[in-house]
Amino acid sequence: MPSVSFVILAAIPCRARIITVDDDAPADFTTIQAAIDDANDGDIVQIQPGTYTGSGNRNIDFLGKAITVTSTDPNDPNTVAQTIIDENGKIFLFQNAEDANSVLDGLTIIHGSYDDCGIYITGSAPAIRHCVLTSPTGWFKTGRAIWCEAASSPTIECCLFTDNAADRGGAIYCIASTITATD
């Protein structure tokens, strides 16, 4: 009689990791880009309250990943106000066909570069929620909060735009794109 062997494969559910970012305290990473570089689809990059500037905190590329980059409590306006990315030029980049599973949630984004933007979206459709986008340095030092081009279709929910000015589209500037904005 032939022997019969059974192989039992256990399915181990994959869990999203929470990757922490803090520029001045113990955390997984000190810059947002380093955390995104390490993240896998489904992960959460959680940014602790503080002000983030410098290399690794500008031109932050989602790299096509289906991740959430968020404050510790995106539904709390005080936490959002205390979680600040403050840089000149582009701060967040969605340029690798990101979709609604690429989420930016609960951050204050201060950008101060003329004719540039806080969030640059090209050929992508990210979700942007509970963010404050501002450029408070005056007309000649401001740019667009969000720039969309090349068939982009972001969803923008519960965001606040203040002090953004530009020759065209101070808050949101879209070229050959469609946005969905609520609240």
pLDDT recorded at residue 141: 42
Predicted pLDDT of residue 5: 52
Domain coordinates of the chain in residue numbers? Answer: 52-182
Laid out side by side, the sheet with 117-122 consists of 60-61, 92-94, 117-122, 144-149, 172-174
- Residue where the block lists tokens 């994959």: 14
Model pLDDT, residue 134: 87
Instruction: Look at residue 133 and give its three-state secondary structure.
Output: strand
Q: What is the mean pLDDT of each run of 10 residues along the chain (183 residues)?
A: 53 78 93 98 98 94 98 98 90 96 96 73 97 71 74 96 72 88 92
**The dihedral formed by the CA atoms of 113, 23, 105 and 93, expressed in degrees to the nearest 10:** 40
Give yes or no for a contact between 135 and 165, defined as CB atoms under 8 angstroms apart. yes
Phi first, then psi: what are they for 33, rounded to 5°? -65, -40
54 close to 88: Cβ distance less than 8 angstroms: no
- In whole angstroms, give the CA distance from residue 141 to residue 181: 26
> Which CA distances in Å does 138 have to 58, 85, 107, 161?
21, 18, 21, 14
Residue 35 sits at φ, ψ, to 5 deg, of -65, -45
Q: What is the pLDDT of residue 139?
A: 46
